[in-house]
Chain A
Amino acid sequence: MYSVAEVDQEICGATKCRLCTQFCPEGNTILYDEVKGTAYVAVDRCKGCEICVGICDDLAKHHAIKMLPIDQVKNGFDISKVGFKRTLVDSE
């Protein structure tokens, strides 16, 4: 069992800070939805390093990202199945 990052879209949507997308070491793992204005995580790519949690808590001070065991993730975005999306609105 391992944990992946999950973004609380309500808190994140109110801020539009985008800092976590800049500090994630993996390409296209924390993506940004321009329509909703929130970050979201590609759960199949997240390696669970928690850098984004530290950035969101300490640098941005929004506390919007939590680690969640992979089996508790509901409707996670799977980039290897769906491909890159500019917004989550189409894929839902």
Chain B
Amino acid sequence: MSLKTIRPATGFKEYLPKEYQDLIDDGPFLRQRKVSELGSFKEAIEEHPMCAGCAMTLFIRLVFVALPSLEHTVICGTAGCGRLAITQGAVPFVYGNYGDTNAVATGLKRGLDIRFKDQPKDVVVMAGDGGLADIGFHAVMHSWFRKEKFTTIMLDNEVYGNTGGQDSGMTQKGMVMKMAPTGKKFEKMDMLGLAKTAGVAYTARISTTNPTRIANTIRKAVLIAREVGPTFIQAYTSCNIEYAIPTPKVIDDARDVEKDRYGFAEYFSDEAQSYWDESEKERKRLRKAAKKIK
């Protein structure tokens, strides 16, 4: 979607819903917004039916701020909690069936690259731990082996929250859930290790404690995916319903878990590191040049 498709024909604007008009006047398009600007512009994400105080919602909201070119992005997802909020954003959402999100994203990315040769289009897969690590596992791994150039973001709430609390591959060992009364019997899957083995260019593990860091990480992942290869972000977004976290304590819980076992960690492949260093240098040069002109 480009800004052209968002702008209505002359004379029609007043008949559109108020939310749409706000998006045209004060929307986040054409310019990269910062996290510190939140509250001063109309966000791409609208009202949505996710639970009060859900950390996943906070993360998704920050993704919509962080995406480097919102008007040239397609998000691909699947069943799960996340899509309830992602579908309410002003970014095209493609609903892959359970299990084939990364296969769908592969086709999308290749098609978009053929159709738009001089305009980079970003494809971002955003789905839960069940959708990516359990059911969509084969498609995820193969998209990494094939070095498909798109970003995979896992919203890791460590449970099947939408269906009443079954344990997923990403649940911690020994955790007793509503629909797993004997406790989980196996270790949490090491998706970051698998990603490294599969040759992913950039991986990051992050928790919802620092909005600016989340935005920077996502921006980095999408920009590296554009040029180098697949990127993967694993984000701890607690399920306050299934893990019975009182909503005022959601961020405290994220902080505890981050300190305990989910600390921020990123990994660059050699190619990704050299690309990122060079592009940072270029950005600094441009910023200096812009300052001189001012």
Residues of A within 8 A of B (CB): 18, 21-28, 30-32, 34, 39, 45, 47-51, 53-55, 58, 80, 83-84, 86
Residues B42 and A18 in contact, CB atoms below 8 Å apart: no
Contacts A25-B57, A49-B248, A55-B251 supplied; 17 other A-B pairs, CB < 8 Å: A18-B38, A18-B39, A21-B39, A23-B211, A25-B54, A25-B61, A26-B48, A27-B46, A27-B47, A27-B61, A28-B42, A51-B53, A51-B250, A54-B248, A80-B18, A83-B19, A84-B25
With a CB–CB cut-off of 8 A, which chain A residues contact B55?
Answer: 25
With a CB–CB cut-off of 8 A, which chain A residues contact B61?
Answer: 24-27
CB distance from B276 to the nearest CB of A (A): 25
Q: In chain A, what residue has the closest Cβ to B247?
A: A49
Residues A86 and B57 in contact, CB atoms below 8 Å apart: no
Q: Would A47 and B52 be within 8 Å (CB), given that A27-B45, A27-B46, A27-B47 are in contact?
A: yes
CB distance from B119 to the nearest CB of A (A): 27
Q: Would A50 and B247 be within 8 Å (CB), given that A25-B55, A26-B61, A86-B26 are in contact?
A: yes
Asked whether B252 is an interface residue with its Cβ less than 8 Å from the other chain, the reply is yes
Asked whether B148 is an interface residue with its Cβ less than 8 Å from the other chain, the reply is no
List the count of A-B residue pairs having beta carbons below 8 Å apart.
82
Alpha-carbon distance between A83 and B47 when the two chains are bound, in angstroms: 13
Alpha-carbon distance between A59 and B53 when the two chains are bound, in angstroms: 17
Residues B58 and A24 in contact, CB atoms below 8 Å apart: yes
Q: In chain A, what residue has the closest Cβ to B62?
A: A22
Residues B39 and A49 in contact, CB atoms below 8 Å apart: no
Alpha-carbon distance between A55 and B47 when the two chains are bound, in angstroms: 22
